[in-house]
Amino acid sequence: MRFKDKVAIVTGGGRDIGREVSLRLAAEGARVVVNFANDEASAAETLKAIKAAGGTAILRRADVTTGDGASGLIEAATATFGKRIDVLVNLAGGMVQRRPLAEIDEDFFDRVMNLNLRSAYLMTRAAVPHMPAGSAIVNFSSQAGRDGGGPGASIYATAKGALMTFTRSMAKELGPQGIRVNALCPGMISTSFHDTFSKDEVRKAVAGMTPLRREGRAAEVAAATAFLASDDAAFITGASIDINGGLFFS
Residue 49 neighbours by CB under 8 Å, 6+ apart: 19, 23
138 CB burial (10 A radius; 0-12, 13-18, 19+): buried
Q: Does residue 121 carry a catalytic annotation?
A: no
Is residue 26 within a helix (H) or strand (E), and if so which, with residue range?
helix 16-27
DSSP 91-129: ----------GGG--HHHHHHHHIIIIIHHHHHHHHHGG
CB 173 within 8 A of CB 125: no
Q: At what angle do helices 106-113 and 154-174 cross, to 10 degrees?
A: 40
Catalytically annotated residue among 81, 140, 156, 193: 156
CA distance linking residue 72 with residue 63, whole number of Å = 9
Catalytic site positions: 156
